[in-house]
Amino acid sequence: MQNSITLTFTALTENILLARLAAATIAHRHGFDIESIEDIKVAIGEAVTNAIEHGCQNDTDTVNVSITFSKNKLSIVVTDHGVGIDANKVPTSFSMHERGFGMLLIENLMDKTDFESITGGGTKVKMVKLLCSEKELI
C-alpha cells in the first residue's frame, strides 16, 4: 500500500512543526516504532530547518516536502529553490563548536540519505527510513 503527501509551505520556521507532524503521522500509521518516529522527526526537522535558513532568501520563498510510504519504507524529500550548498563546506565530523552538522545528524538517523545541490539552483535532501523488519534484509 502506498501513502503519500506533498507539502509546499513558505520559509517560516513555524512550518517546521508541520513537516515533522506529517512525517510522524504517516510513520505511525504504517507501524514504525517510537524510536524510529523520533529519528524521522529529528531528521526532517533538520532538513527543513536547513532549507529555510540556508536555501531560502526570504520568508516568501517556499520549501517542498514529499513524504511517501511504500514497500515497507518511508521516503522523504525536502527541496528548496535557493542558493545551493558548496559540498566543500559540509562538515565531515561532529564538532561542538560549529554549526552545520545537521546533515551528518540526518545521515546517522536515517537508513539512506542523498544530498543533491546545484550552486544557485537549490538543494534536495532525500531520506529513507526502513521498517525494523526490513533492516535485517540489508
Alpha-carbon separation of residue 97 from 48, 94, 100, 102 (angstroms): 22, 9, 10, 13
The grid coordinates listed for 81 are 529553490
pLDDT one-digit tens code per residue, 49-87? 999 998 888 888 999 999 999 989 999 999 999 887 766
- For residue 33, the model assigns a pLDDT of 96
- For residue 85, the model assigns a pLDDT of 72
Instruction: Evaluate whether 16 touches 45 at the Cβ level (below 8 Å).
Output: yes
pLDDT one-digit tens code per residue, 80-103? 998 877 666 655 554 554 556 788
CA dihedral 112, 118, 122, 127 (to 10 degrees): 0
Strand partners, 74: 69, 129
Rounded to 5°, the CA angle 112-113-115 comes to 165
| Residue that has been written with the C-alpha cell 523488519 in this structure | 133
- For residue 2, the model assigns a pLDDT of 87
Total-model pTM: 0.87
φ, ψ of residue 119 in degrees (nearest 5): -55, 120
Which residue segments constitute the domains of the chain, with CATH numbers given? Answer: 3-135 (3.30.565.10)
